Amino acid sequence: MLCALALHYEKASAFANSIRAEFDVDARAVPSAQEAVSGSDIVTAITTARAPVILGERLDDGTHITSAGVNTPVKMELDVVWFSRSKIVTDCLSLAVEEAGDLRAALRNGDISPQNLHAE
């Protein structure tokens, strides 16, 4: 099942409908991030959020998350609980530490250390 969440429910619904029609996949819009991630094996976040959208305490153990929207120091998709519970892998360590606001906050607050980061 694909669960779609957007700032405007109508957009999430239109996206879910297009996925269902094009790929014959069970897809639906959901009204909250908690509902979107609950019981999910894979979560993809592509937002422009300035506060965490995905809360680590709401994720099941073993959930894979791809966070791709955080590309400036002021953006945040993931909370510090997520970082402290996870194996963090990035394609380019120097860029992630420079740009990812949520990662920077977790490092700055001591929730994780550079040794928790895996890259390249």
Contacts of 22 (CB under 8 A, 6+ apart): none
Of all residues in the chain, the percent with pLDDT exceeding 90 is 92
Sign of CA dihedral 82, 84, 89, 94: positive
Contacts of 10 (CB under 8 A, 6+ apart): none
Residues 26 and 6 in one domain: yes
Residues 43 and 72 in one domain: yes
Residues 67 and 56 in one domain: yes
Instruction: Indicate if the pLDDT at residue 115 is higher than 80.
Output: yes
Residues 27 and 42 in one domain: no
Domains of the chain: total? 2
Each residue of 40-78: pLDDT tens digit? 999 999 999 999 999 999 899 999 999 999 999 999 999
State pTM to two decimals: 0.85
Residue numbers of the domain that contains 77: 33-119
Residues 8 and 45 in one domain: no
Residues 26 and 60 in one domain: no
Residues 85 and 100 in one domain: yes
